[in-house]
């Protein structure tokens, strides 16, 4: 599994001519997104992360992008109005969020009806080796936070409020595009 390949696939869900509002949570260091955002000159992009350290690195990468605003905040309590974004992007975030129910609720709340929820993250049950690595190392370090969905559980969760336009599992990673009903 190649993180760069998955990132390319995830970002391909966002058309290069996109001109609406996009929320990226968590932005992390923007290592995967800064090039894509450089071609989205007509979009209003808000990048949110809980970590000031990550935001500092993202700011350095995106310092020349005038349409990108970086904000410190908590995905569990997003400071935005209901239905205020056309796209919510979450790359490698949900496996780290401590309150996944709040994260799902908040990302759904701020997404417009007909808007796209685009994400990728770890799911359990696809690889015993990866599951062990997550359980005994990454979770103990605090980098991943249980509980984790399986692919089937995630699909059921999403189908309640989204139409899945694409859903893929590669190794222990899921990536998808879902449209808010």
With CA atoms as reference, report the closest residue to 85 among 101, 97, 71, 64: 71
The model's pLDDT over 60-79, given as tens digits with 9 standing for 90+, comes to 999 999 999 999 999 999 99
The Cα angle at residue 21 between residues 19 and 23, in degrees rounded to 5: 130
Residue ranges in the chain whose pLDDT is less than 50: none
The answer to whether the beta carbons of residues 124 and 149 sit under 8 Å apart is yes
Q: For 83-111, give the DSSP string.
A: T-EEEEEEES-TTT-S-HHHHHHHHHHHE
The pLDDT tens digits for 87-97 are: 999 999 999 99
Phi, psi of 107 (to 5 degrees): -65, -35
pTM as predicted: 0.96
Residue 5 tokens read as 């390949």
């Amino acid at each position: 599994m190649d993180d760069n390949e998955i990132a390319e696939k995830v970002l391909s869900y966002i058309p290069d001519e996109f001109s609406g509002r996009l929320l990226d949570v968590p932005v992390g260091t923007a290592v995967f997104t800064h090039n894509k955002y450089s071609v989205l000159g007509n979009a209003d992009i808000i990048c949110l992360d809980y970590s000031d350290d990550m935001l500092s690195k993202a700011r350095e990468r995106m310092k020349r992008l005038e349409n990108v605003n970086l904000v410190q905040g908590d995905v569990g309590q997003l400071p935005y109005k209901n239905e205020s974004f056309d796209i919510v992007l979450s790359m490698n975030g949900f496996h780290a969020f401590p309150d996944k129910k709040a994260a799902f609720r908040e990302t759904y709340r701020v997404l417009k009806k007909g808007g796209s929820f685009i994400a990728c993250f770890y799911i359990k049950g696809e690889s015993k080796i990866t599951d062990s690595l997550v359980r005994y190392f990454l979770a103990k370090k605090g980098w991943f936070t249980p509980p984790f969905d399986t692919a089937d559980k995630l699909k059921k969760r999403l189908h309640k409020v989204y139409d899945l336009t694409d859903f893929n599992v590669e190794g222990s990673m899921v990536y998808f595009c879902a449209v808010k009903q």
